[in-house]
């Protein structure tokens, strides 16, 4: 089982899609139960993005599309930290 499949198994209600976005700042996003991951990013980024988006799924219920909104910035910062914690819990290594 691949590392990404381990994350997918923890969230069977989500569908993970690999998409190509030629923007180095785009890593992924979630819409409903669909998680989109930019496959043009390095493999390690796929894992971190998948975990980041599962945090949003588990804890955020509002629209976070306005990147300049304070609520969005707070949610993004917290999701970043929580996804790092989940990464360490699952894989036990820092990257």
> For residue range 8-43, what is the model confidence (pLDDT) as tens digits?
999 999 999 999 999 999 999 999 999 999 999 999
Which structure tokens are listed for 21? 């976005």
Number of domains in the chain: 1
More confident residue, 60 or 49: 49
The Cα–Cα gap between 12 and 57 comes to 12
Work out the average pLDDT over 54-83: 85
- Model pTM? 0.85
Q: Domain residues for 28?
A: 3-91
Can you tell me the mean pLDDT for 33-62?
A: 92
CATH of the domain at 55: 3.30.2010
């Amino acid at each position: 089982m691949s590392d990404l499949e381990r994350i997918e198994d923890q969230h069977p209600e989500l569908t993970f899609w690999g998409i190509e976005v030629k923007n180095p700042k785009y890593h992924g996003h979630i819409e409903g139960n669909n998680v989109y991951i930019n496959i043009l990013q390095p493999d390690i980024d796929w894992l971190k993005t998948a975990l980041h988006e599962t945090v949003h799924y588990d804890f955020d219920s509002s629209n976070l599309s306005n990147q300049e909104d304070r609520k969005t910035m707070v949610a993004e910062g917290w999701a970043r930290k929580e996804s790092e914690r989940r990464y360490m819990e699952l894989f036990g290594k820092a990257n």
